[in-house]
A and B are shown apart, each in its own frame.
Chain A
Amino acid sequence: QVTLRESGPAVVKPTQTLTLTCTFSGFSLTTGGMCVSWIRQTPGKALEWLARIDWDEDIWYTTPLQTRLTLSKDTSRNQVVLTMTNMDPADTGTYYCARIIRMRHTTEYFSYYFDYWGPGTLVTVSS
Chain B
Amino acid sequence: DIQMTQSPSTLSASVGDRVTITCRASQSISRGLAWYQQTPGKAPKLLIYEASTLPIGVPSRFSGSGSGTEFTLTISSLQPDDFATYYCQQYYEYLPLTFGGGTKVET
- Seen from chain A, the residues whose Cβ lies within 8 Å of a Cβ on chain B are 37, 46-49, 52, 60, 62-63, 96, 98, 105-106, 108-120
Contacts and interface: CB of A to CB of B under 8 A. Distances in A.
A105 B50 contact: yes
A106 B30 contact: yes
Contacts of B43: 96, 98, 117-120
B87 to A, nearest CB: 6
Contact of B30 (A37, A98, A109, A117): A109
Interface of B, helix, strand, loop or mixed by DSSP: loop
A20 to B, nearest CB: 14
A46 B99 contact: yes
18 contacts: A46-B100, A47-B87, A47-B102, A60-B94, A60-B95, A105-B31, A108-B92, A109-B32, A109-B92, A110-B94, A112-B94, A112-B97, A113-B34, A113-B49, A114-B34, A114-B44, A115-B49, A118-B43
For chain B, the bracket of interface size reads: 20 to 34
Q: Which 6 A-B pairs have the closest CB atoms?
A: A113-B34, A117-B43, A112-B91, A47-B99, A49-B97, A113-B49
A101 to B, nearest CB: 10
B87 A46 contact: yes
A114 B92 CA distance: 14
B13 to A, nearest CB: 21
Given A46-B87, A109-B91, 11 more contacts: A47-B87, A52-B97, A62-B95, A109-B30, A111-B32, A113-B89, A114-B46, A115-B55, A117-B43, A117-B44, A120-B43
Interface of B: 30-32, 34, 36, 42-46, 49-50, 55, 87, 89, 91-102
Nearest to B34: A113
A47 to B, nearest CB: 4
Question: Counting chain B CB atoms within 10 Å of each CB, which of A63, A114, A115, A117 scores highest?
Answer: A114
Contacts of A52: 94, 97
Contacts of B94: 52, 60, 109-110, 112
Nearest to A97: B43
